[in-house]
């Protein structure tokens, strides 16, 4: 290990997800017991760096957190040091500034030799910006959306799939009982991984993902065809980022002081009304929302998150800064953070799961 490393920071950025505490735990314990270095917990992601909110993490601080959802450090998706809202103008619009110099001062004050940044594409973009300013960073990929480039899987995804699937199962029984078309709206932003996996696991009759623009006629025909065959209900799994052919995604709101201001949501409600009007079938929509982020991580995510965290400390020991941990071909490796920052991994149209869904008669909306 490079002799210059005495203290590292760790932060969790972006949306919370199951498995974050598992990473914090293994990073802290391994750094202390194997490398003999101090660990500083940075609160609320990059906001903690901007406002100098940090605290030491000791062995007792990370005991008994493996099974706990969320993050003991807190998080935010509104604190990019290069584009941070510092106030409002006369019209109430946010004023953005580059506060990276402030971050550099706090990193120096805390004598941090490097930072482990746990997060998705936004967090990796923020880390890449710090790297360009001379801060040593290592990335650990997390997101329930599974949309981070260069890694086959992110921790948190498997738990979110399980949660969404259980919700679909419950909707399934009430849809059957009331003979309704039931839409279940699932997170994922611009990628359909979560909806595709949960939809298949839950036996959805229609699966709508952002990568395949849907046709209302195709969806309605699928519902009517089931009705004609005596299947008096239809279960539709729809991604929050799904959009009609030639149309736009449904935006729930704009968060003006966020570097990523668009919040998707509500496509299921819109579609439910359109399907009811077109077919005459009773239709309902359920938006799962943040229930998909919470709860105890499943065993697979606990192990994957721990494995990622351990690899991050190995990279620290090697002095291999500027890398993000990744899972490729079933093996834990690393890639440059710069190659991941600001990019999203979508479901390829030739993905075997799409072919399998079509083969069993699932309508993909096209």
Name the residues annotated as catalytic. Answer: 145
Among candidate residues 43, 24, 76, 15, the one with its CA nearest the CA of residue 293: 15
Q: How far is CA 240 from CA 130, 135, 213, 269, in A?
A: 31, 36, 12, 11
Cα 168 to the center of its chain, rounded Å: 20
If residue 207 lies in a helix (H) or strand (E), which one and from where to where? strand 206-208
In this structure, what are the phi and psi dihedrals at residue 218, rounded to the nearest 5 degrees?
Answer: -65, -40
Q: From the CB of residue 4, how many other CB atoms can be counted at a distance below 10 Å?
A: 9
User: What six digits make up the tokens of 353?
Assistant: 């799961």
Query: Which residues make Cβ contacts (< 8 Å) with residue 181, sequence separation at least 6?
Result: 175, 223, 233, 234, 236, 272, 275, 276, 279, 281, 282, 283, 284
Beta strands at 54-57 and 38-42: parallel, antiparallel or unpaired: antiparallel
Residue 283 contacts residue 269 (beta carbons within 8 Å): no
HSE of 159 in the Cβ direction (CA atoms, 13 Å)? 31
Residue 297 contacts residue 68 (beta carbons within 8 Å): no
Q: How far is CA 107 from CA 87, 91, 101, 147, 160, in A?
A: 23, 34, 10, 30, 34
Place of tokens 């890694």: 151
Intra-chain end-to-end CA distance of the chain, in Å: 54
């Amino acid at each position: 290990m490079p002799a210059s490393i005495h203290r590292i920071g760790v932060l969790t950025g972006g949306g919370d997800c199951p498995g974050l505490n598992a990473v914090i735990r293994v990073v802290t314990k391994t750094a202390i017991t194997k490398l003999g270095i101090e660990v500083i917990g940075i609160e609320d992601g990059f906001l903690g760096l901007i406002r100098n909110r940090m605290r030491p993490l000791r062995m007792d601080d990370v005991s008994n957190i493996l099974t706990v959802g969320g993050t003991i450090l807190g998080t935010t998706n509104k604190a990019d040091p290069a584009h941070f809202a510092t106030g409002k103008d006369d019209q109430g619009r946010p004023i953005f500034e580059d506060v990276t110099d402030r971050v550099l001062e706090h990193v120096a004050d805390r004598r941090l030799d490097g930072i482990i940044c746990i997060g998705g594409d936004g967090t990796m973009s923020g880390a890449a910006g710090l790297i360009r300013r001379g801060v040593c960073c290592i990335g650990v990929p997390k997101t329930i959306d599974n949309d981070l480039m260069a890694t086959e899987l992110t921790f948190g995804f498997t738990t979110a799939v399980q949660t969404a699937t259980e919700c679909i199962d419950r909707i399934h029984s009430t849809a059957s009982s009331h003979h309704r078309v039931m839409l279940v709206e699932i997170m994922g932003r611009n990628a359909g991984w979560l909806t595709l996996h949960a939809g298949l696991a839950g036996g959805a009759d229609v699966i709508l993902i952002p990568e395949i623009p849907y046709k209302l006629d195709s969806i309605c025909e699928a519902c009517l065809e089931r009705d004609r065959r005596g299947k008096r209900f239809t279960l539709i799994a729809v991604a929050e980022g799904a959009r009609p052919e030639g149309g736009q995604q449904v935006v729930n709101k704009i968060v003006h002081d966020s570097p990523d201001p668009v919040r998707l949501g509500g496509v299921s409600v819109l579609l439910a009304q359109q399907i009811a009007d077109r077919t005459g079938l009773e239709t309902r929509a359920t938006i799962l929302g943040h229930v998909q982020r919470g709860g105890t991580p499943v065993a697979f995510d606990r192990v994957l998150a721990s494995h990622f965290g351990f690899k991050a400390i190995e990279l620290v020991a090697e002095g291999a800064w500027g890398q993000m941990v990744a899972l490729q071909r079933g093996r834990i490796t690393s890639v440059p953070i710069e190659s991941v920052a600001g990019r999203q991994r979508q479901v390829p149209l030739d993905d075997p799961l799409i072919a399998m869904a079509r083969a069993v008669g699932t309508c993909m909306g096209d």
